[in-house]
Structure 1
């Protein structure tokens, strides 16, 4: 079904409309172990088929989870790194056909880095866990433990990340996000570009 929309006076307003029309639903909610969730995630985003789950918690902290065979691995995420910005950049790059992309999720201490590679529709992913901040040069990038690896469809990962961005944009908003994430603003520009690209591809 094609929906005709009158373009509002502001660009964010347009994307709020697109987001409301393009949200998809699927299975059941995801719960992080020992973590309080402030806002319910969309069903599409948290279905176990999806690689990534991401949610904001108290100021300066978020939680990220990853599909790993028969379970989901959960990690704390600190405001010290712009992890949501990394995800937005990853999705946009992969949608444009990038061969490699990565996102850093920094804890205090330690971090996990999601690496993706692939030239076609199916990507290989690897989740690397570090004892310290390798992304800040505190230890060698080679000194890590692989805690999950597998394959995922390029389009599925892009839409998974878009669902995360969409929910936070609609439910948390730009001002509240900035308050919670302290050092970094919501990646609005990449979210808008990704929304346009996915909307055109429908």
Structure 2
């Protein structure tokens, strides 16, 4: 069965963002805190998967966090979104203490394009100044944007 991955990252005010992530059967909406530079890490994951077989992206909430695990097999990517009740990335809970939320398979080109499309849309909607004003702690991931925008 063909798997579909959807990603839409939206920067909100006050250091918050949301990510809508979906597969062929469900869509999940995540709250993302400025405490972690998730957009940059998302962009880095698309770049890294060109040469690495596995990477992940952390989306911190307050409290807890989601972690997107990405494993490349040829030109396919298996993905799993995990929920941690505390911040595993800050060692406040075990990496093994998670609840699986959503999973599926997509292709490497599809994943890279989804990340690229989100960066371009955010750049067009916010620009680097608007992004920094809304996101406060972190700058727009310009280097990654330049590498991915094609």
Note if 1:62 corresponds to 2:17.
yes
Q: Let me know the Cα RMSD of the aligned residues.
A: 1.1
Corresponding residue number in structure 1 for 2:26: 71
Corresponding residue number in structure 2 for 1:12: none
Which protein is richer in strand relative to its size?
2
2-structure distance, mates of 1:122, 1:88: 18
Largest Rg, 1 or 2: 1
Note if 1:124 corresponds to 2:78.
yes
2-structure distance, mates of 1:50, 1:134: 25
Note if 1:154 corresponds to 2:125.
no
Superposed CA deviations along residues 4-41 of structure 1, whole A, max 9, x for unmatched, are: xxxxxxxxxxxxxxxxxxxxxxxxxxxxxxxxxxxxxx
Note if 1:99 corresponds to 2:58.
no
Q: Structure 1 residue 59: deviation in Å?
A: 1.8
**Number of aligned residue pairs:** 147
CA contact (8 A) 1:97 1:119 kept: no
Structure 1 gaps, min length 5: 1-48
Note if 1:134 corresponds to 2:134.
no
Corresponding residue number in structure 2 for 1:82: 37
- What SS does the aligned partner of 1:173 have? helix
Corresponding residue number in structure 2 for 1:194: 148
Structure 2 gaps, min length 5: none
Instruction: Give me the TM-score of the superposition, normalised by structure 2.
Output: 0.93
Residues 171/57 of structure 1: CA separation in 2 closer, same or farther (3 Å cut): same
2-structure distance, mates of 1:138, 1:79: 18
Q: Give the number of the structure with larger relative contact order, counting CA–CA contacts within 8 Å between residues 6 or more apart.
A: 2
CA contact (8 A) 1:67 1:73 kept: yes
Superposed CA deviations along residues 145-201 of structure 1, whole A, max 9, x for unmatched, are: 111111111110000000000011111000111111111100000110122xxx3xx
Instruction: Give me the TM-score of the superposition, normalised by structure 1.
Output: 0.70
1-structure distance, mates of 2:147, 2:113: 13
Note if 1:144 corresponds to 2:74.
no
